Amino acid sequence: MLTRIVNNTVESYGAFPHSGVVFSLFCNSGYGTIKMIAQNRHYEPGIHPFVSDDPVGRRNLTSSNAATQPFYPYQGFHESLALGQQYSSLGSQPLLCGSIPGLVPKQLRFCRNYIEIMPSVAEGVKLGIQECQHQFRGRRWNCTTIKDNLAIFGPVLDKATRESAFVHAIASAGVAFAVTRSCAEGTSTMCGCDSHHKGPPGEGWKWGGCSEDAEFGVLVSREFADARENRPDARSAMNRHNNEAGRTTILDHMHLRCKCHGLSGSCEVKTCWWAQPDFRMLGDYLKDKYDSASEMVVEKHRESRGWVETLRVKYAFFKHPTERDLVYYEGSPNFCEPNPETGSFGTRDRVCNVSSHGIEGCDLLCCGRGHNTRTEKRKEKCHCIFHWCCYVSCQECVRVYDVHTCK
């Protein structure tokens, strides 16, 4: 069962045990009133809905829920990222949750209970992977994925590095973003437009359209992505923190989007709604957080439930990371040479920028090995002319480019 609190009202979205019904439950905490909206949905007998043990609070760096959840061998959220590659077209085909590789039991229950939004979850994972590849396109590690492999990034994410921190954050944000967008587009009956954060309209405009319910998307992402992070160890604490940092980015950048109505663009009436930011902007923001990520150290101490690992900032004179910062506690390999143990593919034959002194430049990207240069002919449209009315005619030109690749 998905649970959140909005305006002092508890809202739950879930499957009613053994009833074959998915419902939305609105329980006003002040007056004790309950409103149930039932919808016909398949529910698998014997699979009880789960209730979020942290419906609205932010996860901290301590593994606080480890004692109440089953103990699985550690597999991070990245073990579920194959969902984005293998199930990106879930909306066009029947989905059997048991056929999805890499899901732990809690994620499997989530899939069965909320199968209607699983295509959006898969699309969000895919969106996060694509954004990772865009953001790191000019770096030694360029977010390369391995086809037909459950661990689609290979061993790279097995370490608690900056790269792992970014992938968890962007994938978690991708799930929240895609689910929120799907709800606003009306593709799911489990969710819809946000009606909780409108308030009075501003001067010269009124509320209209469909405000995007980002809090529901964040809730779904939290339940799915954090389902693996149940161990009382430092890596689970790190992953939960970075997952939450990615999701929080969406809530922090929600904004009003408006549209004018009137003759000849006069904007006699302007309607506005809450909208998510562009996902590329979220990627840029999290990439900056990657560059300024906080290095941590692991501390172990005993609690009533046993030994628990927590994270502490490594250098006391540095600012303690906030919930919006990325954290890591292991160094990254240099990614210059192929190394199956670290998952590095090396940078040989990578295209580099000979005129740049940045990380994408041939000096840094090629790790001092030098680069090769070859000429490449490309056909392009040129000498285009607009004809009244209304078409454009172009000629085809062949242009020669220098292409530089690492030795």
Given a cut of 60, whether residue 2 has pLDDT beyond it is no
Can you read off the two tokens belonging to residue 385? 């002319």
| Beta partners for residue 35, in sequence order | 26
| Beta partners for residue 14, in sequence order | 23
Q: Which of 15-24, 155-164, 219-228 has the lowest mean pLDDT?
A: 15-24
372 and 359 Cβ atoms separated by less than 8 Å: no
- CA 210, CA 186: separation in Å to the nearest integer? 10
Helix, strand, coil tally for the chain in percent (to 5)? 30, 25, 40
Cα R_g (the chain), whole angstroms: 24
Give the pLDDT confidence of 333-361 residue by residue, as tens digits. Answer: 989 999 988 889 999 999 999 999 999 99
Residues 111-135: what's their mean pLDDT?
92
Residues 69-89: what's their mean pLDDT?
48
Peptide bond into 389 cis (omega under 30): yes
Domain 362-406: which CATH number of 3.30.2460.20, 3.40.50.300, 3.40.50.720, 3.40.190.10: 3.30.2460.20
Q: Give phi and psi for 273, each to the nearest 5.
A: -150, 160
Residues 123-138: what's their mean pLDDT?
94
Whole-number mean pLDDT of the chain?
78
At 343 the three-state DSSP class reads coil
Q: Which of 49-58, 286-295, 371-380 has the lowest mean pLDDT?
A: 49-58
286 and 167 Cβ atoms separated by less than 8 Å: no
pLDDT category at 173 given cuts 50, 70, 90 is: very high
Given this model, what pLDDT does residue 232 score? 85
Its pTM stands at: 0.76
- CA 123, CA 115: separation in Å to the nearest integer? 14
Tokens 């607009």 locate to 386
- CA 316, CA 303: separation in Å to the nearest integer? 24
- CA 39, CA 370: separation in Å to the nearest integer? 63
Nearest to 168 by CA among 252, 5, 59: 59
Given a cut of 70, whether residue 84 has pLDDT beyond it is no
Measured over the CA atoms of residue 229, residue 220, residue 280 and residue 322, the dihedral's sign is: negative
Looking at per-residue confidence, does 150 or 327 come out higher? 327
The residue extents of the domains of the chain are 1-40, 52-340, 362-406
Nearest to 273 by CA among 201, 224, 376, 380: 201
Neighbour-count burial of 319, counting CB atoms closer than 10 A to its CB (0-12 exposed, 13-18 middle, 19+ buried): exposed
Given this model, what pLDDT does residue 82 score? 56
Contacts (Cβ under 8 Å, ≥6 apart) of 64: none
Looking at per-residue confidence, does 234 or 100 come out higher? 234
**Percent of the chain residues past pLDDT 70, beyond the cut:** 76
Tokens 């309950």 locate to 34
Given a cut of 60, whether residue 382 has pLDDT beyond it is yes
Given a cut of 60, whether residue 23 has pLDDT beyond it is no
- CA 315, CA 332: separation in Å to the nearest integer? 18
Given a cut of 70, whether residue 368 has pLDDT beyond it is yes
Given a cut of 50, whether residue 115 has pLDDT beyond it is yes
At 203 the three-state DSSP class reads coil
Can you read off the two tokens belonging to residue 229? 């992070």
Given this model, what pLDDT does residue 83 score? 61
Given this model, what pLDDT does residue 276 score? 95
Measured over the CA atoms of residue 242, residue 247, residue 250 and residue 253, the dihedral's sign is: negative
Given this model, what pLDDT does residue 78 score? 56
Given this model, what pLDDT does residue 316 score? 82
- CA 16, CA 43: separation in Å to the nearest integer? 8
| DSSP symbol at 309 | E
Given this model, what pLDDT does residue 81 score? 64
